[in-house]
């Protein structure tokens, strides 16, 4: 891993500055991607941008910036994007600054002030190395800088055609993946959270150990079609199995559910009726668990755990205990209250509810044996 310190004048960075919107923002004679295509939006507010210009005008230091070497003479900004853009946008006449109560666009500045901006030197660390080394180092750098998400960090290392294509689907507020999945999957596409979820899902699906392994393997692919198809499969599968939409479907780990259950067959109209019935069941205390419960109940004896079925209140249990005179109805032994547990006489799965009439107190042994049947 090589890290080189450079001082580069604003004048040189501004040379060839071009903002192509979605297709990226470039500068430094076209050699620097300030913002690669489909990257995070510019999020500085005006006061922050103005504060950067005042810092530069006074000749005070800005924090160190980090560039990544991505080609022979090509770079991407890892850290410092917003500070750099503030200066570039000021020089592009996009906002004025206030000096002594007056507004000044760049072209109204006195020459000496204008030149002090153009001659200001950014302090930059340029880094070059293996991807795994870079990722490691970026994580450390990121502790101090403008916080990047884990996926933004990975994106700054595994660049290439695959990534540009993946961002086309998964990045930006109005991207295709957001439009398709918004009702089911949470995550800010601008911060690469949606891309991260899709990647996490496909890694798990293919038995890969983590996202970096997948990105390293595919970074030179000509497109991200495999990932995009996988993601569409997940969403289409949800809509097929659970045709009726409920708001509590949003935010579940659907990729994980798809990976676990998509090979099974389910009848969608049965599912529809069951989802409705369970939503109406007051003993179901975790409605978000309804979907995994239904997907797994045919082969997981503990599927009910997803629903958090209401337990008996202390009052119901005390009533049942005194009605039974402390005797366990199965083994007929006497036990102290503390040694017994509340049990559904008719199990919840067979239609019994968490009501006083359906409560009995069993000793712990009998209760365990009963639930293992």
The residues that touch Zn ion, with contacts defined as CB under 5 A, are: 328, 330-331, 363, 366
Can you read off the two tokens belonging to residue 139? 């994580």
Cα distance between residue 285 and residue 273, in whole Å? 18
Would you say 65 or 366 has its CB closer to Zn ion? 366
Cα distance between residue 230 and residue 310, in whole Å? 37
Would you say 245 or 337 has its CB closer to Zn ion? 337
| 75 and 113 Cβ atoms separated by less than 8 Å | no
235 φ, ψ to 5°? -70, -40
Would you say 200 or 344 has its CB closer to Zn ion? 344
- Report the nearest approach of Zn ion to the CB of residue 367 (Å): 8
- Exposed/middle/buried for residue 232 (C-beta within 10 Å: 0-12, 13-18, 19+): middle
- Report the nearest approach of Zn ion to the CB of residue 320 (Å): 14
Dihedral sign (CA 157, 186, 188, 179) = positive
- Report the nearest approach of Zn ion to the CB of residue 312 (Å): 17
Would you say 139 or 368 has its CB closer to Zn ion? 368
Cα distance between residue 34 and residue 44, in whole Å? 14
Would you say 235 or 363 has its CB closer to Zn ion? 363
- Report the nearest approach of Zn ion to the CB of residue 309 (Å): 22
8-state DSSP, 183 = T
| 207 and 262 Cβ atoms separated by less than 8 Å | no
Output the CA angle 313-371-353, nearest 5 degrees: 40
20 φ, ψ to 5°? -95, 25
- Report the nearest approach of Zn ion to the CB of residue 336 (Å): 13
Nearest to 39 by CA among 156, 201, 202, 198: 156
Distance of CA 269 to the CA centre of its chain: 32
- Report the nearest approach of Zn ion to the CB of residue 276 (Å): 38
133-145 core/surface letters (b: 16 or more CB in 10 A; e: else): ebbebbeebbeeb
- Report the nearest approach of Zn ion to the CB of residue 365 (Å): 6
- Report the nearest approach of Zn ion to the CB of residue 311 (Å): 19
Is beta strand 32-35 parallel, antiparallel or unpaired with respect to 74-79?
A: parallel
Q: Which SS3 state, helix, strand or coil, does residue 22 take?
A: helix
Would you say 263 or 332 has its CB closer to Zn ion? 332
Instruction: List all residues 6 or more positions away from 81 whose beta carbon is below 8 Å from its beta carbon.
Output: 34, 35, 40, 146
Can you read off the two tokens belonging to residue 14? 């501004």
- Report the nearest approach of Zn ion to the CB of residue 321 (Å): 13
Would you say 87 or 363 has its CB closer to Zn ion? 363
In the chain, count of helices (H) and strands (E)?
16, 11
Output the CA angle 10-15-20, nearest 5 degrees: 110
- Report the nearest approach of Zn ion to the CB of residue 329 (Å): 8
């Amino acid at each position: 891993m090589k890290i080189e310190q450079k001082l580069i004048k604003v004048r040189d960075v501004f040379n060839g500055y071009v903002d192509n919107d979605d297709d990226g923002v470039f500068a430094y004679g076209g050699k620097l991607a300030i913002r690669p295509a489909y990257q995070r939006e510019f999020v500085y507010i005006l006061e922050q941008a103005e504060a950067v210009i005042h810092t530069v005008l006074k000749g005070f230091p800005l924090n160190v910036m980090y560039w990544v070497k991505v080609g022979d003479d090509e770079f991407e900004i890892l850290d410092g994007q917003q500070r750099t853009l503030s200066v570039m946008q000021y020089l592009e006449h996009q906002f004025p600054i206030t000096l002594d109560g007056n507004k000044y666009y760049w072209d109204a500045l006195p020459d000496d002030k204008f030149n002090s901006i153009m001659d200001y030197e950014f302090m930059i660390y340029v880094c070059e190395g293996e991807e795994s080394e870079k990722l490691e180092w970026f994580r450390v750098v990121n502790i101090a800088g403008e916080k990047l998400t884990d996926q933004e960090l990975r994106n700054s290392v595994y660049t290439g055609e695959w990534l540009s294509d993946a961002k086309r689907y998964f990045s930006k507020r109005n991207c295709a993946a957001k439009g398709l999945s918004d009702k089911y999957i949470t995550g800010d596409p601008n911060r690469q959270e949606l891309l991260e979820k899709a990647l996490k899902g496909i890694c798990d699906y293919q038995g890969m150990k983590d996202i970096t392994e997948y990105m390293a393997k595919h970074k030179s692919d000509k497109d991200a079609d495999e990932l995009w198809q996988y993601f569409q499969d997940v969403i289409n599968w949800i809509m097929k199995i659970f045709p009726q939409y409920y708001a509590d479907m949003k935010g579940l780990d659907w990729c994980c559910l798809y990976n676990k259950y998509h090979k099974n067959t389910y009848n969608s109209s049965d599912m529809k009726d069951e989802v409705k019935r369970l939503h109406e069941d007051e003993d179901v205390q975790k409605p978000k668990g309804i979907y995994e419960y239904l997907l797994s109940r045919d082969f997981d004896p503990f599927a009910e755990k997803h629903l958090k079925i209401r337990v008996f209140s202390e009052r119901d249990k005390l009533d049942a205990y005194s009605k039974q005179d402390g005797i366990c109805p199965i083994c007929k032994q006497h036990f102290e209250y503390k040694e017994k547990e509340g049990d559904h006489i008719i199990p919840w799965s067979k239609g019994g509810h968490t009501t006083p009439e359906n409560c009995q107190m069993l000793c712990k042994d009998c209760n365990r044996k009963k639930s293992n049947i």
